[in-house]
Amino acid sequence: MPPHALRRSWPVLGSVLVALALAAGCAGTSGPQPRGHQAPPLRATADLLDPAQVVSRNGVLRTSIAVERKKVRLAGSDVWALTYNGLYMPPTLRLKPGDRMEIAFENKLDQETNLHVHGMHVSPGEAADNVFLSVGPGETFAYRYAFPKDLRPGTYWYHPHAHSLSTAQVAGGMAGLVVVDGLDAHLPEPLRGITERTVALKDFQIDGDAVKTAGLTMNAETTRTVNGQVNPRIRIRPGETQLWRIANIGANIFYKVALPGSVFHVVAQDGYPVKEVYGAESLVIPAGSRYDVLVQGGPAGTTELQTLPYDSGRTGGQFPQATLATVESAGEPVEPAELPTAFAPVEDLGQETPADSKTITFTENRDNTLFYVNGKQFDHNRVDFRVKLNTVEEWTIRNNSQEDHSFHVHTNSFQVMSVNGQPQPANGLRDTVLVPARGNIVVRTRFLDYPGKTVLHCHILNHEDRGMMAVLQIDE
């Protein structure tokens, strides 16, 4: 086994990764699907550029975000896109647990929008992570977030959540990262302060001189980017250890990311540090999910960071292999660091007695154009599920369709207990998980800190916008 190969794995979790490798959520369409394809990548001539950062100071992150349609440079062409502050890859918002965040949010579009901080444990009400709030054209809104001191360190993201418009706005470009500092505290001393790489995965389709925002299909030609760049160069020294923040911040498509000859050593998932570091040769990343991983430079030379082929089901989509970036291992070699195995303490909800249980069923209509939760389409005026604050519940999520769906819930993350009846290790919480076609998962959630109205949904945004979302009321 080469020195950079798998150091530790979870046998059960490994089988889950294999199962998930078969999955890729996409907009459902009936009948045989044309094979999707990636536009030919440009040669790697430019280094990967991390997004600009807005960093909290003295416990407060203050910034302004203007939403506007603007021309940006993508894949060598100037095209119209939907932007935050005029950028296809907007600034990363970087803060610490216990910080406050204040955002002056200005809508310069001709349609309503709003702001959602995906995966973050924060109030769903009033001026915070309130996805029922609408900011109209020409309006400005003051968002105010107060994060708890025990907010987990890792990678999150921000995007719009206006019902029926989420797909168009995210696909148009409205998506950026949030980083919560603190992972260093769990790393051994020699690995603290290592080089970090942002690997934000966004894809776009072109309609004339604009990024396409209507009639999106997951099997159409698309261009996959990393930080808004097509096939950028990622530099690493042989043997060097880097922390990569890999995030799928696109609207619909899924990635199966691999770096041939190397292993991703997962230290956090969905903004939640793991109990024990595990290795994976590939990671299936549904829309909305994030992995923080340690990567060690291989022998001198170049390797393609790829998304591998996968199929999301008979009524889903088929996605080909594509190049995401070119990794160049060069320079003075360094002795590979000893990577951690044990990492961070985690809560095991398997030791709890659930106060209640619920079943959530995802279905589609016959021609895969409408999507349902428990037979109902989304209605923001209707409460579909109620839970009590400070209790633990166990939910079974069933997928009664011929394609994989991506289950996501706001405000509180969950522990995956089983996938298709196969028990899962207690290795940290999640906020997004694939539910296999004709399969089921069981999750447990502790509802902490914040009462109010929030949502759960499929994070394939075409499905969410077409009805696959439900209202969750957290009562005191």
Beta carbons of 461 and 406 less than 8 angstroms apart = no
CATH number of 11-42+185-329: 2.60.40.420
Tell me the C-alpha distance between 251 and 224, whole Å.
12
Query: Two tokens at 279?
Result: 């290795």
Residue 351 φ/ψ region, left for φ over 0, alpha for ψ in the -120 to 50 degree band, beta for the rest: alpha
Positive or negative torsion for Cα 21, 375, 381, 447: negative
Provide the pLDDT for residue 20. 38
Q: How does pLDDT run across 159-178, given as a tens digit for each residue?
A: 999 999 999 999 999 999 99
**Residue pair 44/326 in contact by the 8 Å Cβ criterion:** yes
Cα–Cα dist 453/163, whole Å: 15
- Residue 50, pLDDT > 60, answer yes
Report in angstroms the alpha-carbon separations of 422 from 12, 16, 280, 427, 445. 8, 9, 19, 15, 18
φ, ψ at 215 (rounded to 5°): 65, 35
Is the whole-model pTM more than 0.85? yes
pLDDT in tens, 199-211: 999 999 999 999 9
CA-to-CA distance for 54 and 425, rounded, in angstroms? 36
State the span(s) of the chain assigned CATH 2.60.40.420: 11-42+185-329, 53-182, 349-475
113-169: pLDDT as tens digits: 999 999 999 999 999 999 999 999 999 999 999 999 999 999 999 999 999 999 999
Task: For residue 138, count CB atoms less than 10 angstroms from its CB and return exposed for 0-12, middle for 13-18, buried for 19 or more.
Answer: exposed
Question: What is the Cα gyration radius of the chain?
Answer: 21
Say if residue 5's pLDDT is above 90: no
Q: With 90 as the cut, is the pLDDT of residue 316 above it?
A: no
Would you say how long the chain is, in residues? 476
Q: Could you tell me if 476 and 453 are in contact, meaning their C-beta atoms sit under 8 angstroms apart?
A: no
Sheet holding 255-258, edge to edge: 233-236, 322-329, 301-307, 255-258, 282-285
How confident is residue 21, by pLDDT bands cut at 50, 70 and 90? very low
Q: Which residues contact 73 (CB under 8 A, 6 or more apart)?
A: none
Residue range 33-42, pLDDT digits in tens: 344 455 555 6
- Would the pLDDT of 82 be above 90? yes
22: pLDDT strictly greater than 70 = no
Task: Reply yes or no on domain 53-182 having CATH 2.60.40.420.
Answer: yes
Task: Find the range with the poorest average confidence among 7-16, 267-276, 383-392.
Answer: 7-16
- At 320-375, the pLDDT tens digits run 899 999 999 999 999 999 999 999 999 999 999 999 999 999 999 999 999 999 99
> What is the sign of the dihedral through the CA atoms of 66, 55, 156 and 388?
negative
- pLDDT band at residue 318 using 50, 70 and 90 as cut-offs: confident
Please tell us whether the domain made up of 349-475 is placed in CATH 3.30.70.120. no
Q: Determine the pLDDT at residue 434.
A: 93
Residues whose CB falls within 8 Å of the CB of residue 118, separated by 6 or more in sequence, listed in order: 156, 157, 158, 159, 288, 431
pLDDT the model gives residue 409:
98
